Structure 1
């Protein structure tokens, strides 16, 4: 079954300036999608997608040729980094999608809120 990369791209557009999400956070809100599918979708991302706001679960930019550019763009948005080079999740973790996304996705708000609560653990 082919993954609908458009749905992944639409959810990534929900991550605002100054906040970051992990591949797993994005995947957790899309039924049947895993972090690797999110990573694959990033490779075909439209030019206007803020790809650099999506990180590994450790908070480090993914190991790819654009890692330095990713870090530069995040710093420009005032994303906080720890001394070890990972983002400081406590200061810049994405808070979740907008009500508009929830309405369009058909997801149950209580279920989504439970998923988001798990991100902080």
Structure 2
């Protein structure tokens, strides 16, 4: 049920198109975990020749993989028949994953722009 609802929401956000990761025209890094191996998995747009695996996966499926928080949501089986769970378990601040990726590719901190959407609260001063 949750998968179906998320699919509809993401589909509506992307103008009724099932967008694939390779179709995104900005650089994206999305952390997850391969549950059976307890190893990190980062879904990336093909912004480098080595990053080709995962480009044919629909964005809504990757959203399931990165947000499948144990005890709240079931693991997502989206590619390779492997269960994926919440990337926040190893990348508590996924923005750092993206910044590290950009720096590794030669971008300066001044060139990096980040859009971070979360459920936290804003600070008031």
TM-score (norm. length: structure 2): 0.29
Higher strand proportion (structure 1 or 2): 2
Which structure exhibits the higher relative contact order, with contacts defined as CA atoms closer than 8 Å and separated by 6 or more residues?
1
Instruction: Name the one with the larger helix percent.
Output: 1
Please report the TM-score for the alignment, with normalisation by the length of structure 1. Answer: 0.29
Larger Rg: 2
